[in-house]
Amino acid sequence: MVGHATVWSVRTSRVVATDQVRDVLADTGALVRDAVRLAELTTLRVGGPALVAECASTQSLVATVRALDAAGIPLLLLAGGSNLLIGDDGFDGVVVRIATEGVRIDGDGVVAEAGANWDAVVAATVAADLGGLECLSGIPGSAGATPVQNVGAYGVEVADLLRRVRLLDRASGEIRWAEPAELGFGYRTSVLKHRDDAVVLEVDFALNAGGTSAPLRYGELTRVLEAAEGETRTAASVREAVLRLRAGKGMVLDAADHDTWSAGSFFTNPVVPHARVPEVRAAITARVGEVTIPTYPAEDGVKFSAGWLIERAGFAKGFPGPDAAARLSTKHTLALTNRGAATAADLAALARIVRDGVAERFGIRLEPEPVTVGVTL
């Protein structure tokens, strides 16, 4: 999931007063609200209270970040809140909510402001007969989050299509467009992740005119579309198939379905260095017998399926049971879900149990995908 592009900074340990923040932000255009429960702004629906400054324009966002930095006030940037686990104590500072929504179709591409709903961006490109982003349909979160996390699904990554990113450099105050080569893209990461000196303001993607999808690379999707690997289909038909597949896994937001009260895939698929692959395969075979182990090629090794490892380590869908406040999704073992009354502490405890169980059984340590604030895993 996206939202995920949350970049956060703690510049001082002191707690700021609401009146002080209102004075600092008086000329920025931000809407300041006190004692907002951050659970209301995240897809996991957990997170304690904070002072929130909502910015509906890029101009306001830039002015707000600059003003808070100049005043030495700690801030947390938050947009879609879909790849974020915030602690139950909330955040001692100002949560800057990125509420910019602009989306502009630009010839053979799209330019979106950081706060734009990601799936709405994808839908707009498909409606404009532009292909490329359709495999990223249904992912919750904001457009600005996507390059931070190098969001990917069904064989497509943001890095494949990104043309440039408009950034605010918090140290120098400079605003500029950065090229993909500067962003250090990797599997579900970039140089923008887990750092606080750059704020994504806009993203620009190069797409395919004529409504043709990106070449299909993911087996599950090619089977549904009855296509061979490398073939293309219309972007609209691929988007429809992706939304159907994601919904079946509880990966499309639905307030009535607690399986979607999640941060999406909680763990990334582990990449095992080539030298360790025989050892890992032997450990898996010793535990579960001779089976087909789902793996995928990766730049620095072999990628193993985190969901498959979790299930084979003894953590079934719905673990630890129907009475637990935090459970694995009943549809997908890779999602940790809030069943309605979970706390951040509940979710963190479940994450540790699953992570440590996989490590003990197979010798592979799973890494969390969401950004954590005030939570230790």
Q: Known catalytic residues?
A: 188, 265, 369
Q: Are 76 and 9 in contact (CB under 8 A)?
A: yes
Entry field: residues in the chain: 377
For residue 305, count other CB atoms closer than 10 A to its CB. Answer: 16
Q: Are 137 and 242 in contact (CB under 8 A)?
A: yes
Asked whether the beta carbons of 302 and 277 are under 8 A apart, the reply is: yes
Find the DSSP H helices in the chain: 18-24, 58-71, 118-127, 145-149, 219-225, 235-248, 277-288, 306-312, 344-362
Q: At what angle do helices 235-248 and 118-127 cross, to 10 degrees?
A: 150
Burial class (CB in 10 A: 0-12, 13-18, 19+), 216: buried
Classify strands 335-338 and 301-304 as parallel, antiparallel or unpaired. Answer: unpaired
Beta carbons of 50 and 88 less than 8 angstroms apart: no
User: Nearest to residue 151, comparing CAs of 122, 181, 127, 179?
Assistant: 122
Q: If DSSP codes are grouped into helix, strand and coil, which group holds residue 186?
A: strand
Which single residue is written with the structure tokens 């979970």?
A: 342
| Euclidean distance between CA atoms 1 and 153, whole angstroms | 10
Residue pair 67/24 in contact (Cβ under 8 Å)? The answer is: yes
Compute the distance between CA of residue 250 and CA of residue 331 in angstroms, rounded to an integer.
Answer: 6
Residue 115 CA to residue 102 CA, distance in Å, equals 8
User: What's the burial of 267, exposed, middle or buried (CB within 10 Å: 0-12/13-18/19+)?
Assistant: buried
